[in-house]
Structure 1
Amino acid sequence: MIRRTPMQWKRYGTIAAVLVALSGGAYFFWLSSQSAGLPAGITGSNGRIEAERIDIAAKLPGRIAEVLVSEGQWISAGDLVATMDAVEIEAQLHQAQAAVAQAEQQKLQAEALLNQRLSEAEFARAEHARTERLAANGHATQEQLENRKTVLTTAEAGVAAARAGIDLADATIAAANASVERLQSVRNDADLVAPREGRVQYILAKAGEVVGAGGRVVTLTDLTDVYMTVFLPARDAGLLAIGSEARIVLDPIPDYVIPATVTFVASTAQFTPKSVETADERDQLMFRVKLTIPEDLLEEYQEQTKAGVAGVGYVRTDDTVPWPDTLSVKLPQ
């Protein structure tokens, strides 16, 4: 092992500090050079085109049955992206549907029983009334009247029990239907669909693989929300207003100028010196700014839109300053 002397370690530390200072100075020199040649009130900074990504994931653990898309493919909202193995869930769903049919048959039986009990109660009521008239005229004994009363009471109790049987059948049907709805929801979750239109960026799992709950299967790039992120010093970021016009020039097509809008300015600095005591140090505070391309323009140039392309974003810190001719909107025909 090579041993370093304290003097050597000190020398290496000094060299590292100088390199850090030089790299920081080079960065700020580059940043200031971006605005060179621009009129006062307009500034620019390097950035990269970004798009929101949507991870299409499995809600429940299971085996992937089929992946129906390929990388780079354009898909619409609601398109089927992949399917999970749902044999077990489908069996449970069929069982629950059979339970619903069984409960409905039980209700039909309960309704038939109720009609029978109503007929019996009506007959018992008529017999009791006739026996009462006979007993009043001395043609029937008190014992016969009491027997008819008992039969009537029993018949009325049978009617009440039959009505309760129908209520029980209704509750059983409701419970069975709820089970069907729950299992149908689980079955629907086995079909992974695109929540929005966009382009397939990555396929993260293949057919036959087992994924856990929340396991990502496909990553979709939402090309309806495309923007460039730039970093501006505090003196410029503090003058920006949400909704202000912006311009984007991409490295592969420098002859074209794309319109954009300032949709976000960070409330806290991204790069902060160890201590902020002087005006120069405050100028070194860098804030993240988001320049969003209009959705209708993205739709028009859907096939040409790609994330990851580098370029320069320009903003106006003074809305009264007109854009120079070099930054006038110019789009491919």
Structure 2
Amino acid sequence: MFKRILLILLFIVAAFGVWYLWQEEIVRRSADALPEQIVYGNGRIEADLVDVSAKYAGRVLQINVHEGDLVEPGQVLATLDTAELEATMAKAKAQLAEAIESLSETEAEIVRYEGELRLANQNLKRTEQLVRRNAASQEEFDTRKTQRDSAEAILKVAKAHKRTAERAIEAVEAEIRRIQTQIDDFTLRSTVSGRVLYRLAEEGEVVAAGGKVLTLLDLSDVYMEIFLPSSLTTQLSIHAEARIALDFAPQYTIPAEVTFVSPEAQFTPKQVETMKERDKLMFRVKVQIPRELVKKHIRRVKTGVRGVAYVRLDDSVEWPESLNRRFPEAVLADGNDESDNQ
């Protein structure tokens, strides 16, 4: 029994070795037929990860997506319990109503005090005229003047109370906006167009402030990173045209362009090149697939798929026919490997 299992394992390893050598042979033959101004490097399809985290601590009330689901910007992914915040909001709204009522009372008082001030001014003028005709005493005039001054002071106090009431309303309204913003933050939305990669929390769990609930794969930026020596990167320009051939279908290519060239050299990662190549300092080059193409076939986009990226150093050089064969729509839609040049 053990020997049979061992033979099966050896067969699997041998089959994988043959497949790997076949892929390498395809790449080698393709490379031998390439013009000097078209270079290539090994890599894999990648996309950036976006963590969906809770801004505040709270209990997860509902998660609306599962691993593998596609999401769009603005889509509600999860909600946290806001019962405590809703109670705080109700209290703040009650305080706002009280502040508005206080302002209304103050405004009514101001109207009354303004009337009293007008009356006090009229009485003072009449008394002043009577004093000039010796029809009233100076004491009566002084009394009227004191009443007028008192009415002015009372009106000033009432207007100060009005300003205080207005500031109180503004403060409560600001508090309501703050609470509402916090409530909105308890609803976790997607900021990217992509796929749910990991579901890191479950309904009913309590997450800390900053705790991760989901991890998304941002499919608006799908790319492959390759490494090229400085002798080639010095000739490479941003937005240079490129092609990506995937290992599972090396006979087809995906159009792409160079969007980044690292300003610093580094040792090439082990999974990209041979040991001989890793002894050299290389520059990281990002080859991006057009967003509109990714969006068109977003349901079939997978990261981690290995392949080869070809980069054109000179725009005047024509692409070989072997690198101009695009994925047929039939293959993209149904997975059938039907030949169809596009």
Q: Give the TM-score taking structure 2 as reference length.
A: 0.81
Q: CA deviation at 1:192?
A: 0.5
| One-letter amino acid of the counterpart of residue 306, structure 1 | K
Which position in structure 1 is the counterpart of 2:210?
214
Match among 307, 324, 331 for residue 328 of structure 1: 324
Q: Aligned-pair distance for 1:32? A: 7.8
> Structure 1 residue 155 and structure 2 residue 159: aligned?
no
Letter in 2 for 1:250: L
* 1:90 maps onto 2:98 in alignment: no
Check conservation: 2:267, 2:278, Cα contact below 8 A: no
Query: Which residue number in structure 1 is paired with residue 73 of structure 2?
Result: 77
CA 1:31–1:296: 2 relative to 1, 3 Å:
closer
1:111-126 equivalences in 2 (<5 Å): 111-126=107-122
1:236 aligns with 2:226: no
Question: What do the CA deviations read for 1:270-320 (whole angstroms, capped 9, x no partner)?
Answer: 218xxxxxxx99982222111100111112212211111111111123333
SS at match of 1:125: helix
Q: Given the superposition, is the C-alpha separation of residues 322 and 34 from structure 1 closer, same or farther in structure 2, using an over 3 Å criterion?
A: closer
1:46 is matched with which residue? Answer: 42
Which amino acid counterpart does residue 181 of structure 1 have in structure 2?
A: R
1:64 maps onto 2:91 in alignment: no
AA aligned to 1:53 is L
The answer to whether the 8 Å contact 2:228/2:283 transfers is yes
Tell whether the 8 Å contact from 2:267 to 2:279 is kept in structure 1 after alignment.
no
Q: Deviations over 1:186-214 (max 9, x none)?
A: 11111111112221111111111122221
- C-alpha contact (below 8 Å) 1:43/1:317 kept by paired residues: yes
Q: Partners in 2 of 1:281 and 1:227 — Cα distance? A: 22
Cα distance in structure 2, aligned partners of 1:204 and 1:332: 37
Query: How many angstroms does 1:172 deviate by?
Result: 0.8
Identity %: 43
Alpha-carbon separation, structure 2, partners of 1:35 and 1:317? 15
- Alignment of 1:146 with 2:142, yes or no, is yes
Could you tell me how far apart the structure 2 residues matched to 1:34 and 1:323 are? 12
Aligned-partner Cα distance in 2 for 1:132–1:320: 102
**Distance verdict in 2 for CA 1:191–1:281, change over 3 Å:** closer
1:24-75 deviations in whole A, cap 9, x for unaligned? xxxxxx9988833433222222110001221111111222111111111112
1:275 alignment counterpart: none
Decide whether the 8 Å contact of 2:120 with 2:144 is kept in 1.
yes
1 CA distance for matches of 2:314 and 2:142?
104
Equivalent residue number for residue 36 of structure 1: 32
Q: Does 1:175 align with 2:174?
A: no
Q: Structure 1-normalised TM-score?
A: 0.83
Identify unmatched segments of 5+ residues in structure 2: 1-25, 269-275, 330-342
User: Which AA in structure 2 matches 1:140?
Assistant: A
Listed as ranges, the gaps of 5+ residues in structure 1 are: 1-29, 273-279
Offset at 1:76? 1.4
Q: Which residue of 2 aligns with 1:263?
A: 259
Partners of 1:234 and 1:283 within 8 A in 2: no
Give aligned pairs, total.
298
2:186 is aligned with 1:190: yes
Pairwise mapping of residues 300-319 of structure 1 onto structure 2 (< 5 A)?
Answer: 300-319=296-315
Structure 1: how far apart are the matches of 2:278 and 2:249?
Answer: 35
Q: Are the equivalent residues in 2 in contact too, given 1:31–1:45 (CA < 8 A)?
A: no
- Counterpart of 2:241 in structure 1 is 245
Q: Say which of 92, 102, 109 aligns to 2:105.
A: 109
Shift of 1:218: 1.0
Secondary structure of residue in 2 paired with 1:117: helix
Structure 2 vs 1, CA of residues 60 and 33 (structure 1 numbering), >3 Å: closer, same or farther?
farther
What CA deviation, in whole Å up to 9, does each residue of 1:135-194 have, x standing for no partner?
222222221121111111111111111111111111111111111111111111111111
Change in 2 beyond 3 A, CA 1:189/1:205 = same
Match of 2:95 in 1: 99
User: For residues 282 and 107 of structure 1, what CA distance do their matches in structure 2 show?
Assistant: 76
